[in-house]
Chain A
Amino acid sequence: DGGITQSPKYLFRKEGQNVTLSCEQNLNHDAMYWYRQDPGQGLRLIYYSQIVNDFQKGDIAEGYSVSREKKESFPLTVTSAQKNPTAFYLCASSRPGGQWNGYTFGSGTRLTVV
Chain B
Amino acid sequence: QKEVEQNSGPLSVPEGAIASLNCTYSDRGSQSFFWYRQYSGKSPELIMFIYSNGDKEDGRFTAQLNKASQYVSLLIRDSQPSDSATYLCAVNPAGNNRKLIWGLGTSLAVNP
Q: Are B99 and A42 in contact (CB under 8 A)?
A: no
A interface size (C-beta, 8 A): 19
Whole-angstrom distance from the CB of B110 to the nearest CB of chain A? Answer: 22
Q: Are B102 and A31 in contact (CB under 8 A)?
A: no
Q: Are A90 and B44 in contact (CB under 8 A)?
A: yes
Report the bound CA distance from A42 to B100 in whole Å.
13
Q: Does A85 contact B (CB under 8 A)?
A: no
B interface size (C-beta, 8 A): 20
- A43-B88, A107-B43, A108-B42 as given contacts; A102 in contact with B100, CB under 8 Å: yes
Q: Are A106 and B105 in contact (CB under 8 A)?
A: no
CB-nearest residue of chain B relative to A101?
B49
Q: Are B98 and A100 in contact (CB under 8 A)?
A: yes
Known contacts A42-B103, A94-B98, A103-B46, then 4 further A-B pairs from the complex at CB < 8 Å, ordered by chain A residue: A90-B44, A105-B43, A106-B43, A108-B43
Binding site for A on B (CB under 8 A): 32, 34, 36, 42-46, 49, 88, 90, 92, 97-100, 102-105
